[in-house]
Amino acid sequence: MPPTSLEISIPTTSISATQPPYTLYNITLRLPLRSFTISKRYSEFTTFHNTLVSQTNLPPPAPLPPKSWFQNTINNATLRESRREALEAYLRAINESEDPRWRNSPAWRAFLNLPSLPSNNNNNNGGASTRLHAAITDPGDSEGGGITDPILWLDCFRDMKGHLHDARLYLTRRDQETTPQRQHESSARAKSELVRAGGLIASLESGLRNLSNSSSGGGEENNAGSRPGSKLGRRNTATTATAWSVSGNNTLGEGEMRRRKDLLINARKEKDGLEDLLNAMAAKSRIDSAVASIQDKEALMGTQGGKKAIRSSGRVLGRETERTRELDNSGVVQLQKQMMEDQDVAVDELMRIVNRQKELGIAINNELQVQNELLNLADEDATRLGGKIDIGKKRIGRIS
Query: What amino acid occupies position 163?
Result: H
Q: Which residue has the higher pLDDT, 138 or 183?
A: 183
Listed in sequence order, the residues at least 6 apart from 251 whose beta carbon sits closer than 8 Å to its beta carbon are 211, 214, 215, 218, 222, 223
Mean pLDDT of 258-279: 90
Dump pLDDT digits (tens) for 213-239: 776 654 444 443 443 344 333 333 333
Q: Is the dihedral of CA 46, 47, 53, 56 positive or negative?
A: negative
| Model pLDDT, residue 83 | 94
**Alpha helix ranges (H) inside the chain:** 42-56, 77-95, 106-111, 125-137, 150-176, 180-216, 219-223, 231-237, 241-247, 254-301, 329-399
| Model pLDDT, residue 382 | 93
Whether residue 49 is predicted with pLDDT greater than 90 in this model: the reply is yes
Mean pLDDT is highest, among 132-136, 281-285, 357-361, for 357-361
pTM across the whole model: 0.39
| Model pLDDT, residue 17 | 86
Distance CA 217, CA 157 (A): 24
Mean pLDDT of 100-114: 87
Mean pLDDT of 19-44: 86
Q: Which residue has the higher pLDDT, 129 or 324?
A: 324
How far apart are the two ends of the chain, measured CA to CA in Å? 115
Determine the 3-state secondary structure of 350 from DSSP.
helix
| Model pLDDT, residue 232 | 36
Q: Contact, 52 vs 102, CB < 8 A?
A: yes
Mean pLDDT of 140-164: 70
Question: By C-alpha distance, which of 9, 205, 197, 194 is closest to 92?
Answer: 9
Distance CA 167, CA 265 (A): 18
- DSSP codes, 369-380: HHHHHHHHHHHH
- Using omega within 30 degrees of 0 as the cis cutoff, is the peptide bond preceding 20 cis? yes
pLDDT band at 158; cut points 50, 70, 90 = confident
| Model pLDDT, residue 1 | 42
Q: What is the mean pLDDT of the chain?
A: 77
Distance CA 314, CA 380 (A): 77
**Alpha helix ranges (H) inside 302-328:** none
pLDDT band at 116; cut points 50, 70, 90 = low
Mean pLDDT of 102-129: 66
The phi, psi pair for 232, rounded to 5°, reads -65, -40
| Model pLDDT, residue 216 | 62
How far lies 179's CA from each of 199, 293, 303, 315, 325, in Å? 31, 17, 28, 23, 14
Distance CA 321, CA 176 (A): 11
| Model pLDDT, residue 235 | 36
Dump pLDDT digits (tens) for 303-346: 555 555 554 445 555 556 767 767 778 888 888 888 899 899 89
Q: Contact, 179 vs 123, CB < 8 A?
A: no
Torsion from C-alpha of 338, 344, 345, 347, nearest 10 degrees: 150
